[in-house]
Amino acid sequence: MLISPLLLQSKLPFTIAEVADGTEALAAAEVARALFKAGADVPALALIVVRDAVRAQALEQAFSFFAPEMELFSFPAWDCQPYDRASPNASVLARRMGTLSRLVRSRGGERPRVVITTANALVQRVPPVGWVSAQALAAAPGNALDMNDLTRWLEHNGFVRTATVRDAGEYAIRGGIIDLYAPGLLGPIRLDFFGDTLETIRQFDPETQRSTGTLAKLELIPTSEFQMTSEAIRRFRQGYVVAFGAATKGDLLYEAISEGRRFAGMEHWTPLFHDRMSRLTDYLPGAAIILDHMALDAAKERLGQANDYFQNRKSGLEAVAPGAAPYKPLPVEALYWTADELAALSSLSLPLAGRVARSEAQGREGVTLTSPDNGARPPPGSLRSPPSPQGGGT
């Protein structure tokens, strides 16, 4: 299957239909290759939205076979329910921040770039683009770097101190050595200090703890979607009072954050730590958006689920017993896309459909690739990102 770069430059909507199971990556890779060949007028970047994590993993594996030359980004969803009392897994947060940081720093041009995400991950708001691009700590052997300053940076940016580093988002201190596993790295690293001077940066195997190589430089990025700095805490306290009124006695979340302590589930109030929130599409200006079969339905279901959980939390807040810890939920639109934003996405996307009837596909504006079969027609679209949200977060 070949897709002409002229088709992409024309911005005409089209559907790739009757894609056999297991070959979705092949079809999407052809779109990415065509984008790359189209030149500067069409950014060589594609965002593929699938219905769930299982589908995303299968697509990532298929891309490694069909398109090993492409730069692949993976953006997972939180592994918890909306308005949960539990926090997302630290490794999930690390993967998300690693991808966002790579996107703001990736200039492209050398090879096609493809971002694979799920419907759940797409419709959840993310930290501002400017904040992610500014949150980095660079170092190299021979640089002056105070261990205490580095430790504070790790704590402020979501790293968890452990006895032995094994997973992303962890760090450990042993004398003049700091072990850490940061987002964007293939494995953990060991920083060896002599006083306030960073002497070496070594990679090591988390199982054997033995060194496997050295690095000439290091760039650390947060493993959390907000910081616990004094400024961020001040912003949280102000936003919390505006959203819910004066804090009451027994409000464990407010008390913990005010004291600079992390609290289980605090990520569900992430918008209060930022001036505004962004969307994943804000990190991908001009990208071709490809909706996998049923991805839009899954996104709508997620928004409906978030609304249900919000209503349940709101009802529970009104009926909370005296002395019990309240759960004060932020409005759905603070954490998730609105229905209008999702509708704009569906009208500005390139559907990758599993089944489209020939009779329904013929006569449509643009180009449709199909073969005889029956099924439901996905919405038409073009190759543009949706407009930036107006206001969008909290």
Reduced to 3 states, what is the DSSP secondary structure of residue 131?
helix
d(CA 231, CA 237): 10
pTM of the model: 0.80
Q: Is pLDDT above 60 for 204?
A: yes
198 phi and psi, to 5 degrees? -80, 115
Q: Look at residues 289, 377, 296 and name the one whose alpha carbon lies nearest to residue 337.
A: 296
Checking if the pLDDT of 84 tops 60, the result is: yes
pLDDT band at 60 (very low <50, low <70, confident <90, very high): very high
Find all residues with CB under 8 Å of 236, minimum gap 6, and list them.
Answer: 257, 269, 272, 273
Which tokens is 314 given?
Answer: 């709101």
Of 392 and 189, more confident:
189
DSSP per-residue letters across 88-127: PPHHHHHHHHHHHHHHHH----SS-EEEEEEHHHHTB-B-
Going by pLDDT thresholds of 50, 70 and 90, the confidence category of residue 389 is very low
Is residue 364's pLDDT more than 60?
Answer: no
For residue range 316-345, list pLDDT tens digits in order.
Answer: 876 555 556 789 999 999 999 999 999 888
**What three-state secondary structure class fits 8?**
helix
- For helices 24-38 and 53-66, angle between their N-to-C axes, nearest 10 degrees: 60
pLDDT value of position 375: 38
Q: Higher-confidence residue: 196 or 374?
A: 196
Q: Is the pLDDT confidence value at 100 over 90? A: yes
Q: How far is 105 from 247, CA to CA, in rounded Å?
A: 39
pLDDT tens digits for range 337-358: 999 999 888 766 666 665 333 3
Q: Inform me whether the pLDDT recorded for 390 exceeds 50.
A: no
Q: What is the DSSP string of 25-87?
A: HHHHHHHHHHHHHH-TTS-SEEEEEESSHHHHHHHHHHHHHH-TTSEEEEEPPPSS-TT-SSP
* Maximum mean pLDDT: which of 16-25, 106-115, 220-229: 220-229
Report pLDDT for 46: 87
Q: d(Cα 102, Cα 91) in Å, to the nearest integer? A: 16
Which of 181-195, 230-244, 274-288, 307-321 shows the lowest mean pLDDT across its residues?
A: 307-321
For residue 145 the two structure tokens come to 């770097």
Would strands 137-139 and 160-161 be described as parallel, antiparallel, or unpaired? unpaired
How do beta strands 367-369 and 14-16 pair? Answer: parallel
- Supply the pLDDT for residue 349: 67
- Kindly tell me the burial class for residue 89, based on how many C-beta atoms sit within 10 Å of its own C-beta (0-12, 13-18, 19 or more): middle
- Give the mean pLDDT of the chain: 82
At 8 the pLDDT is: 59
Angle in degrees, CA 330, 332, 333, rounded to 5? 105
Which pLDDT score, from 0 to 100, does residue 288 have?
83
